[in-house]
Amino acid sequence: MASKISLEFLQELMNEENPDVTLSSFQLAPGSGRGDNYTAMLYRVYVEGFKIKRNSVENDDNVKQPWERSIIYKCLPDSIVRREAYKSDALFCNEVAFYTKINPALLSFQREFLNDSESFKAIPHCYLARNDVLILEDLHCRGFSMADRKSGLTTEQCAAVLKELAHFHALSLAMKQQRTEEFYELLNLQDGISEGLFDVEHEEWYRGYYNVASRNALAMVKEALPSEDDRTKYLKKFDDFVGDGTFFTKMVSLVSPNEPLAVFCHGDCWTNNILFKYSPEGTIDEVCLVDFQLVRYGSPALDLANLIYCCTSRDQRAEHLTDLLKMYHETLHTRLMQLTDECQRCSQIYDKDTLWEMIDEEFHKCGKFGLGLALDMIPISTCDSDQAPDLYQDKDADTSIDSLEIIPVWTSNELCRRKMADLVQELVDKGDL
């Protein structure tokens, strides 16, 4: 797909926002490392050219000023076999629908109530979105960087992300109350989003994948628990969840939306899909969420469980979980009130105490969802890069879908075992598993 990039294509792309710029050259480089992305290919494109500037009103002489920009070119894997194996086409369509339909509608609604300084802006600018390519701003040019996936997120980083998620989720809740028909039109399957993972139609496809992931996780937890009593206590409940053949059905049920709290969720809220910008003093200035291929309509707690259970440590959660959830709730309620006319605050979600009870209940229910994601995400986040699939390999290396066995990332390192066992123990001890 990268072969489609040409100077003519880039010039046409830039013309819309920079009609006075003439491009002269471009350079292409991988936009992500091995293990950082799985269903699409990212390229960083550096473009150079010049911009015409007149010396003065009286002087007709023009001056050519150097002009450059870096953009992110996201496309489907070159290998058709890999695209089929990872269901890349359907996931790509989800992200296109988000950038062309859902996000513009949410931001348009937001502008009716908030000024620019208050607005939710934690999403990169999109230059182009179509069924085979996405072109986005290069956030690195604005000083954004990604946290280390093996280290996970600090408590401060997690809090900053939860604040932005609260602002994002509030847009759905408020628009649904005030622009009900318009909001539900965004869920039109014809040109909207579909569940990227846990849909009954995908069960046959993913059965083998999650059977392997479950066996790997059970083996890791067993090895990490030295006490026979602990193995008996925790492994039984874990095996009941992942090992009885109904795991996928349980996950399908967990992602099913329940009103009135259902929102557009990011859907893949883990370390590699979050970028941070820092002040000179080292504090977090901005957060930006990327990769909306798994965007879904469901409980906001799906995003919370994904973030908290896959990106933080057990010690962090023991000390800060309640405070983090209450901060999310406070931010969500405040923003929800800002986005809703007083006369339309008729739903129970506007009562602050009721909203907290709903979020708390949903988070406990979605603990299993976080664990289900962790079967995949903890090995992905803790593996070495050479243990991850290489999407940039020769597109002719895969000859058929049968020759490409899609299996979960496997790593046997101590960090992975410990994180998996910690999460199982925590959820059992809380009564959430």
Q: Give residue-wise pLDDT tens across range 167-190.
A: 999 999 999 999 999 999 999 877
Partnered with residue 137 across adjacent β-strands are: 71
4-28 mean pLDDT? 92
Question: Which CATH architecture describes the domain 88-123+143-429?
Answer: Alpha-Beta Complex (3.90)
Among candidate residues 334, 408, 333, 341, the one with its CA nearest the CA of residue 378: 408
Q: Look at 405 and 426; give whichever has higher pLDDT.
A: 426
* Rounded mean pLDDT, 117-121: 95
Residue 103: per-residue pLDDT: 97
| Percent of the chain scoring above 90 in pLDDT | 73
Model confidence pLDDT, tens digit, residues 124-156: 999 999 988 999 999 999 999 999 999 999 999
pLDDT at 403 over 80: no
The runs of H, that is alpha helices, within 293-366 are 300-311, 314-338, 352-365
Q: Which residues contact 301 (CB under 8 A, 6 or more apart)?
A: 359, 362, 363, 365, 366, 369
Rounded Cα distance, 28 and 47, in Å:
9
Instruction: Kindly list the domain boundaries of the chain, sorted by start residue.
Output: 88-123+143-429
Q: How far is CA 77 from the centre of its chain?
A: 19
Determine the pLDDT at residue 33: 62
- Say if residue 351's pLDDT is above 70: yes
Arithmetic mean of pLDDT over the chain: 90
pLDDT at 182: 95
Residue 1: its pLDDT value, please? Answer: 54
Residue 355 pLDDT greater than 90, yes or no = yes
Kindly state the tokens that stand for 311.
């990106």
Out of 237-241, 288-292, 343-347, least confident range = 343-347
User: Does residue 13 have a pLDDT over 60?
Assistant: yes
pTM for this entry = 0.92
- Is residue 388's pLDDT more than 70? no
